[in-house]
Amino acid sequence: MERNLKNVLVISFGFLLLFTAYGGLQNLQSSLHSEEGLGVASLSALYAALILSSMFLPPILIKKLGCKWTITGSMCCYIAFSLGNFYASWYTLIPTSVILGLGGAPLWSAKCTYLTIASNSYAEKTGKNGKDIINQYFGIFFLIFQSSGIWGNLISSLVFSQASNKVEISEENLACCGAYDCITDTTNTTGSAEPSNSLIYTLLGSYTASGVLAVLLMVMFLDQLKSDQAETEKEILETPTFWSTFLATFQHLKDKRQCLLIPLTMYSGFEQGFLSGDYTKTYVTCALGIHYIGYVMICFSAVNSLSSLLFGKISQFTGRKLLFALATVTNTSCIIALLLWKPHPKQLAVFFVFSALWGLSDAIWQTQTNG
């Protein structure tokens, strides 16, 4: 196998293993750690740290450590988050969430830098167009990586399906599910009841092992960039001063196109946060039980992945405005329906319809905003 392609596959499967764990765990945060909103607070701290990290850390770490070791070290930050969930409290989960957030931006930046350099190296060697090889390598990466949403959620549902303490959900408690969300710590808990500690530890052990395998894969099989490639790597990421980086961020605001992209980017984060934080807790867990979260999110991931491929291809024919309009109508319709709908276990298919429609609209927000 050609060396550059081998490295692309190593990174792809490393990210698959890592995000199988993180993706599944992220979707469970609001349901597993609902006391005083700890789960939601941990995700908020995580993404706040990610924002700060993305502004300053990637060029510094990549220049000092190189892409391989930046990827490896950043993956360890994700493992720390899994470990923090074993004994979840404000003193363990919030710090490990911040650690993950700090490692997130260098991880993705190093991955993109590595794949770009590997693509250009192969293109130069074979006399092919660099952009074509970049598209090919990133296509391979996302094909493998996107399936992590399926495997991570499947693991959580299979583990929690083993619970022996499932109880019937009364009509009185079902009335508290959905948009009205009147389930509290003092309310008779049903579907939102936590599974046993042994099942939680089994799940977290599986996720942690998946993260450790990802790190070992990077250490053992990912090649360090050659000396000439490493020079290119440093040229791409010449470390700017703190203030130049800070000011460069705000200089983009002079361009009205950049300003108009900000609300789109923010909304993309809001809608994903609603699905993984609120829909999973107040609709799925409340009415069906925590073991259904994985199945519902598998539906979202599968539709999202297929729709991303579809809309990425047809956007050249339809234009972005038409696709953005489709996503807006789909999301707005779902929001209105969720406000009116009273979730019930007898309407099982409806839970999957909402996640599928959300996956379709999210695919548009992701592919077109990034494009």
Give the range of the structural domain holding residue 107, as residue numbers without chain letter: 1-182+193-225+233-370
Distance CA 57, CA 77 (A): 14
Cβ contacts of 79 within 8 Å, gap of 6 or more: 208, 211, 212, 215
pTM over cut 0.75 = yes
pLDDT in tens, 152-197: 888 988 888 886 555 567 777 788 888 877 655 444 444 445 678 8
**Percentage, residues of the chain above pLDDT 90:** 34
Burial class (CB in 10 A: 0-12, 13-18, 19+), 335: middle
Q: 296 lies in a domain?
A: yes
Q: How confident is the model at residue 240 (pLDDT cuts 50, 70, 90)?
A: low
Q: Which residue has the tokens 């991955």?
A: 111
Q: Is 107 part of a structural domain of the chain? A: yes
What pLDDT score does 187 carry? Answer: 44
Query: What's the confidence (pLDDT) of residue 129?
Result: 78
Q: Tell me, what's the pLDDT at 226?
A: 67
Does 187 reside within a domain?
no
What percentage of residues in the chain have a pLDDT greater than 70? 87
Q: How far apart are CA 303 and CA 366, in angstroms?
A: 13
Contacts of 203 (CB under 8 A, 6+ apart): 24, 155, 156, 159, 160
The number of folded domains in the chain is 1
How many of the other CB atoms lie within 10 Å of CB of 15? 25
337 or 40, which is more confident? 337
| Per-residue pLDDT, 243 | 59
> What are 300-333's pLDDT values in tens digits?
988 988 888 788 778 778 888 898 999 999 999 9
What is the reported pLDDT for 188? 40
Please report whether residue 17 resides in a domain.
yes
- pLDDT for position 1: 57
pLDDT, position 336: 95
Distance CA(195)–CA(326), nearest Å, equals 39
Least confident of 53-67, 156-170, 176-190, 202-216: 176-190
- Listed residue (309, 294, 361) closest to 31, CA to CA: 294
Indicate the burial class of 303 (C-beta count within 10 angstroms; 0-12, 13-18, 19 or more): buried
Q: What is the CATH number of the domain that holds 6?
A: 1.20.1250
Does 178 map to a domain? yes
Residue indicated by tokens 């807006």: 328
Using alpha carbons, list the distances in angstroms from residue 17 to 79, 81, 114, 210: 11, 15, 18, 5
